[in-house]
Structure 1
Amino acid sequence: MTSTAPVAVISGASRGVGRALALRLAADGYDIAGTWNRNESAAQQVRSEIESIGRRATMYRNDVADGEATAGLVEAILADHGRVDTLVHNAGIASRGRFVADTTSAEIARVMGVHAMGAFHLCSALAPIIRLSDRGSVVLISSTATSYPGAGGAPYMMGKAALEALGTTFALEERTHGTRVNVIAPGLIVTEMGDRLAHALTGAENAAALDEKTPFGRVTRPEDIADLVSFLASDAARQITGQRIEIHGGCPELVH
Structure 2
Amino acid sequence: MTDLEGRVALVTGGSRGVGRGIARRLADDGATVAVNYRRDAAAADEVVAAITASGGCAKAYQAAVDDTDAVAAMLSAIGDDLGTVDLLVSNAGTASRGTAIADTGPEEYLRLLRVHTLGPLELIRLLLPGMRTCERSDVVVISSSIVGETPPNGAAYTMAKAALEAAARTLAREERGHGVRVNIVAPGLVATDMGQRLAAAAAGRTIEELDPSYPFGRVARPDDVAGVVAFLASADADYLTGQRIQVDAGGPDSTLL
Structure 1 and Structure 2 fold alike (TM over 0.5):
yes
- CA distance in 1 between counterparts of 2:251 and 2:218 reads 10
Structure 1 position 208, deviation (Å): 3.0
- Give the equivalent residue in structure 1 for 2:73: 72
- Give the equivalent residue in structure 2 for 1:226: 226
Task: Provide TM-score, normalisation by structure 1.
Answer: 0.95
User: How many residues in Structure 1 have an aligned counterpart in Structure 2?
Assistant: 252
- Give the equivalent residue in structure 1 for 2:192: 191
RMSD over aligned Cα atoms = 1.4
3-state secondary structure, aligned to 2:246: strand
Structure 2 vs 1, CA of residues 72 and 249 (structure 1 numbering), >3 Å: closer, same or farther? same
- Structure 1: 5+ residue runs without aligned partners? none
Structure 2 residue identity aligned to 1:178: G
- Give the equivalent residue in structure 2 for 1:50: 51
Kept in 2, the 8 Å contact 1:21–1:226? The answer is yes
Segments ≥4 residues shifted beyond 6 Å: none
Structure 1 position 178, deviation (Å): 0.8
3-state secondary structure, aligned to 1:58: strand
Structure 1 position 255, deviation (Å): 4.3
- Give the equivalent residue in structure 2 for 1:237: 237
- CA distance in 1 between counterparts of 2:256 and 2:234 reads 32
Structure 1 position 177, deviation (Å): 0.5
Kept in 2, the 8 Å contact 1:214–1:250? The answer is no
Structure 2 vs 1, CA of residues 255 and 159 (structure 1 numbering), >3 Å: closer, same or farther? farther
Structure 1 position 130, deviation (Å): 1.4
Kept in 2, the 8 Å contact 1:50–1:56? The answer is yes
- Give the equivalent residue in structure 2 for 1:36: 37
3-state secondary structure, aligned to 1:147: helix
- CA distance in 1 between counterparts of 2:207 and 2:188 reads 11
Structure 1 position 82, deviation (Å): 1.5
Structure 2 residue identity aligned to 1:26: A
Structure 1 position 104, deviation (Å): 2.3
Kept in 2, the 8 Å contact 1:135–1:235? The answer is no
3-state secondary structure, aligned to 2:219: coil
Structure 1 position 49, deviation (Å): 0.7
3-state secondary structure, aligned to 1:65: coil
Provide the identity percentage.
46
Kept in 2, the 8 Å contact 1:188–1:254? The answer is no
Is 2:63 the counterpart of 1:62? yes
Where does 1:113-128 land on structure 2 (aligned, <5 Å)? 113-128=114-129
Structure 1 position 148, deviation (Å): 0.3
Structure 2 residue identity aligned to 1:216: F
Structure 2 vs 1, CA of residues 255 and 239 (structure 1 numbering), >3 Å: closer, same or farther? farther
3-state secondary structure, aligned to 2:217: coil
